[in-house]
Each structure stands twice: as C-alpha cells, then as structure tokens.
Amino acid sequence: MQKNYASTDDCIVALATPYAESAIAVIRASGEHCLQHADNLFSRSEVLASATGHSAHVGYLLHPVSRERIDQVVCTVYRAPASYTGQDSVEVSCHGSLSVIQTCLEAFRAAGFRPAGPGEFTLRAFLAGKLGLTQAEAVAELVRARTRTASTLALGRLSGRLEHRIEAIKQSLLHVLAGVEIQLDYPEEDTGEVPHDIASLIRARDNVAALADTYRTGALYQDGVLVALAGATNAGKSSLFNALLREDRSIVSDVHGTTRDYIEASIDVGGVPVKLVDTAGLREIDEQVEGEGIRRSGRIIARAAAVVYLVDATAGVSAGDTRNLADLPSDKPVVKVWNKVDLLPADHAVPEGYIRSSVESGEGLAEILDAIFSRISGGAAALTGDETVVDSARQHDLLRRAAESLERTITSVHDEMPADIVAVDLQDAVGALGEITGEVSTDDVLETMFGGFCVGK
C-alpha cells in the first residue's frame, strides 16, 4: 500500500481525460460506497446506488449542497468485482468545457470524494488482483506509447504475455527448488541423493537472460531516439526534414544560413518514435546569431543516436564536409546522403557509402528511412508487435539479478556444493522473478512505480 495514499476503501475521483477543452471529458470515481456517494450528485434519485454493473444512465450532475445543475451527463456504473479497480466505480461523461470539468470535480469533493493520487486506480486494480505488476506497468506504457508498434507491444504485456512467460520460468525453478529442499528438510531420512535438474536450470538461465537482453529493444520502441540532420548550408536538410515529415515545417531557401536554430518534430521510423532535428548548416561564420545556431547544432549532433549527413551532389564533397564527418565520434552511426541528384545527369557516379537522393522527386527517401532504422536498431529487424520484450528498467534489473543467481546456482551444482548453498541462490532467482510480477513487493517499489503514472489512471 502506498504510504502517500490513504485507505484503499476511500472514495477517490480524478479526471481521466486531459484537462483541456474538448467535446467530452471523463471523470472517474471508485471506492467503497462510491455509488451511494455519487447518487447524491445525480438528478435521478437512487438510480446509481441501485444500478446494475455495466449500465449507463443519463441525467444531470448536481452540486450536493446547493442542488444546482452543473451539466447534463452520462454516468456509467461498474459493480465490484467486475470493474477496473475491483471496486464499485462510476465514470461520468460530461461536456469538455474547462469550467464544467472544474465544477464537476469540486462537486465530487463536496460529496466526500478525495482527489486520486497518480496511478491510484491502477494501484487498486493491482492490490485487488485484477492486474499483475507487469500488466500494471503496461498500462502506463500504453498511455505513453508514441507509435503503433509501441502500443501493440504494450498491449501484449497488458494481456499478460510477459507475466505468463516469467511465471512458466518460475514454476520450472520451483520444481528444482522442491528437490533441493527435500534434502534440507529431511537430512536424517534415507531419501537418497536427489539429483539436481541442471538442464532445467540452464534452460531457465538462458530464457531469463534472453528476456533481459530485449530491454534495449523495448526501451528503443518506448522511449525513442534523437536523430539529427546535418551538413553544410544549402545541402537540402530543411527540404529533407519537410519531406520526411510530409509537411512544411522548416523554411527552405537558396540563401545560405536560413536555418539559424534547430527545429524538431516526431516521426515514426519502423515503429520507433524518432525525434528528428533539422540543424543549422555547418560552416565557418563570424555572424553572432548564425554562429550560436551552429554551436547548438554541434550539441544536438553530439547527443543524437544517429546523424543523417547531407552533401549537395552538385557541389560534391567539400573540404568542410570531410572535416565535419571526421569530427563525428567514430562510434556515431551516420547515414550519408548524396542529395539533389535530380540536378545532375542520371548516370553520374555516386560516392561509395552514400544514398542517392532527390527530395524533389522523392528518390531515396525510403532508403534513407531504412538506413536510419538500421543505424538506431543496430541492424536488427523491425518488430511486428507480437514479440515479448521488456522496456522497464525495474524489470531489466530484476531479470539480470535472476540470471546471475541462476549462473551461481549452476556453478554450485557443477562443483557439487552443499544443498543449502544451492538453495540460497536458487531462492534469490525465484524471488527476483516474483518481484517482477508483483508477488513480492514493497511499499517503496509501489510508490516509485505508480507515482510515475498520470492522475486518473
């Protein structure tokens, strides 16, 4: 139970949609006697208190003291245990005026509801056994997902895909642990030597390590990366930026130094959310404003996961281009683009390692996107969304702990160490897997995890 939250029986309320003007807004409330308290706010007396679960009711939301009408609403009733939180709950759909939203929330508070803390609805679902901890984390991941692939991966975790896989590994370890504990519990009995199932231990270690290794990929699809467009002035960076975004965001001009500061926007590259940055053209300059833009570009390029470097094909690779490319860190992934090929003969030679491109005709755009994905993914194939990956640092750390404990267990078995030594590491591995799914959890863990949720979820 989170120490910042009061009893889970309290009636809580929160706005479940953004606090912004919209067609409708949804206010969520849950807790013991929630429907009785909500009935005091509804124009149709005792309708909510007696309503069946999964039923909707139209009426007016009233102030519980003045009985003044606030808004015409739809109240959707959920009965325990068949609700998100496992408690009686009601969701009020009201008009999305900011004044209406604020007045509705004030009315709920006047009726005895307290504001919900971040993630408190999902916390209650977890404590009620409606969700495992990996599924609860997937709720926040689904809310934050910025691409369709990221949403699909999070939805798979929400459905229990990761939890089921971890549970299967844990059950295989518990079977081995049972044999070890027989020797510990009955040392005086002539049970004979119980052989350790080392094949199961090796299989479990490999499965746990493989899951842990998916973290980089999972974090990539959830958190995304920064990719910088770089090159000399007038190489076509802004035109490429607009083409990849499919909208005019950067100013395009034949005048050198048009982009004096970086411009950024988000795009989907193979399911990975990419923050694409159009940087100021790199050249020697004394002018103060443009010079500051170039310095900022340098900082962006240094932070970028990958750089798309454009060269104007009509000018060729200049000494400045050679110097700029040489200045990039040796481990910085670079996509080299030979741009403006539409202005040259069709059979002209393209330098090795460059992608032939024309923003005007669209030539090379698909190849550039493919190359960006290859660089940021380390050459891995794009995910379809059906894979089981982890994107939580908490889960990754616990998987690594379980894998290390299993490695020590296997070594102890190989070395024919006493059963109590084998049991210690084996129990630690099982415990780490239990922490992932929430079988073993502490207030601090729950506080940290659910505190990162948005209010209303």
pLDDT of the residue at 179: 81
Q: What is the DSSP letter of 246?
A: T
pTM: 0.81
pLDDT of the residue at 109: 96
219-254 tens-digit pLDDT: 999 999 999 999 988 889 889 999 999 876 554 444
Mean of the per-residue pLDDT values of the chain: 87
Report whether pLDDT(294) > 90. Answer: no
Q: Which of 203, 213, 183, 184 is nearest to 195 (CA)?
A: 183
Cβ neighbours around 167 below 10 Å, total: 17
What percent of the chain stands above pLDDT 70?
88
pLDDT of the residue at 23: 95
Query: Between residues 47 and 287, which one has the greater pLDDT?
Result: 47
SS3 37: helix
Strand partners, 74: 58, 93
Mean pLDDT of 344-353: 90
pLDDT of the residue at 402: 97
pLDDT of the residue at 288: 43
Apex 443 CA angle, 152 and 162, nearest 5: 25
pLDDT of the residue at 427: 93
Q: How far is CA 362 from CA 342, 356, 357, 373, 455, in A?
A: 10, 11, 7, 18, 44
Report whether pLDDT(78) > 80. Answer: yes
pLDDT of the residue at 1: 43
Cβ neighbours around 380 below 10 Å, total: 13
86-137 tens-digit pLDDT: 999 999 999 999 999 999 999 999 999 999 999 999 999 999 999 998 999 9
- Runs of H (alpha helix) within 284-442: 288-303, 319-327, 365-376, 393-414, 419-437
Q: Which of 305, 304, 309, 302 is nearest to 281 (CA)?
A: 309
Report residue 256's pLDDT band, with 50, 70 and 90 as the boundaries: very low
Q: Are 18 and 2 in contact (CB under 8 A)?
A: no
146-158 tens-digit pLDDT: 999 999 999 999 9
pLDDT of the residue at 291: 47
Helix (H) or strand (E) holding 24: strand 22-30
SS3 215: helix
171-190 tens-digit pLDDT: 999 988 888 877 776 655 55
